[in-house]
Amino acid sequence: MKMRKVGSLVLILALLVSLVGCGGSTQNSDNNQAAPTPQQSEAANAKMQEMEDILMAQLQPLPETNTGDKIGILVITLTNPFWVGMKEAYEAAGQELGVEVEVMAAPTENDSKSQLETLQAMTAKDYKALIISPIEPFNLVPGIVQANNKGIKVVNLGPGVDTAAVANAGGKIDGRICVDFEEQGKLAAEYIIEKMGSEGGKVAIIQGIPGAGQSEGRTQGAKKAFESAPNVELVSIQPANWDRNTAYNTATNLIQAHPDLKGIFCCNDVMALAAADALEAAGQREGKIIFGVDFIGEAAEAMKSGKLDGSIAYSSTVYAKAAVLLALKTIQEQEVPETVFSPLAVVTKENIDQYEGWK
């Protein structure tokens, strides 16, 4: 009887230790692996170089590299292919620049509390700087203040932290690098408008989580463009919470309500792919333009097969490298620009062959 209890206890501990061990070793082997190098076309290389040049110009003078500094990175979630790509890009940038990077994430896209807890745990470690991408503008504020108090530099990448809220709580963001979300929405909407031609038509927007920065920014940008175009009618803006299944249902409902819909702009590719599937299933895909944002791998495939019309891309590789450089600049107490913007590219099914191996 007693033996059994002791046995169980040993078992649970063994499991705990082995799990922790196996988790750790997997992570290490990830770090040691060279970044996967898919075949990159000349055209994609040239485009990436162009983007890198634009970004590096904003980061002059470049900081000292190969310092071996430890930089902690908190992304949104590794259940989204975009952030998985960013994780790989960060790790590649860490290797290239000679710094140690560790990438952590929240368990799911909605779990803002866990993300804060992860950040708070990270502030207990010996990082020189943290690069954070919050789930929503407020959830990481207490963790940022903790990092400030410990003298850890905080760089905000992508979705914005509410700077007023941080200042209110007695903290600060040391550097910010992002994509202009409104510009993304605007570029996508402009493509849809151009494709519809002079006769125009009805369009709709599928949002992410209402209130989330990327979602609101992209929606605003697209909305403004649609509303200022002649003959274009924006019939509906629906949230689908970045969720594939929700987006599928939302798109089905949209096409039910507006059978003459001509274009749908989705605030990310996952939702755009779901919308394309939904329209296909409803036998309504023909003659309708579906545009996403992020240019994930699946979207690239879908553009080649004609399932998706296009997406707004920026180079994760260059973006992550610029973020690490920005973090190094803050560690070395150099002046940094208020916001560093990543350049954007409009990828469509017409020009997709020029983006082979883009990352």
- Chain residues binding another protein by CB under 8 A are 1, 4-5, 8-9, 11-13, 15-17, 19-20, 22-24, 26-27, 77-78, 102, 104-107, 110-114, 116-118, 120-126, 136-139, 141-142, 146, 150, 162, 164-165, 168-169, 209-211, 239
**Judged by CB, which is closer to another protein: 77, or 214?**
77
Residue carrying the six token digits 């309500």: 257
Q: CB of 109 within 8 A of CB of 136? A: no
Q: How far is the CB of 211 from another protein (least distance, A)?
A: 5
**Judged by CB, which is closer to another protein: 114, or 236?**
114
Reply yes or no: is the peptide bond before residue 61 cis, omega within 30 of 0. Answer: yes
**Judged by CB, which is closer to another protein: 118, or 342?**
118
List Cα–Cα distances, 315 to 154, 185, 187, 242, in angstroms.
Answer: 22, 17, 16, 21
Dist. CA 68–CA 101, nearest whole Å:
9
Q: How far is the CB of 108 from another protein (least distance, A)?
A: 8
- CA 65, 50, 181: angle at the middle one, nearest 5? 90
Q: How far is the CB of 163 from another protein (least distance, A)?
A: 12
Query: DSSP states of 171-184 as a string?
Result: ---SEEEE--HHHH
**Judged by CB, which is closer to another protein: 119, or 222?**
119
Q: How far is the CB of 31 from another protein (least distance, A)?
A: 10
**Judged by CB, which is closer to another protein: 111, or 233?**
111
Q: CB of 249 within 8 A of CB of 271? A: no
Q: How far is the CB of 78 from another protein (least distance, A)?
A: 6
Dist. CA 151–CA 158, nearest whole Å:
22
**Judged by CB, which is closer to another protein: 137, or 221?**
137
Q: How far is the CB of 4 from another protein (least distance, A)?
A: 8
Q: What are phi and psi of 249, to 5 degrees?
A: -65, -40
**Judged by CB, which is closer to another protein: 126, or 199?**
126
Dist. CA 339–CA 107, nearest whole Å:
28
Dist. CA 225–CA 275, nearest whole Å:
21
Q: How far is the CB of 52 from another protein (least distance, A)?
A: 28
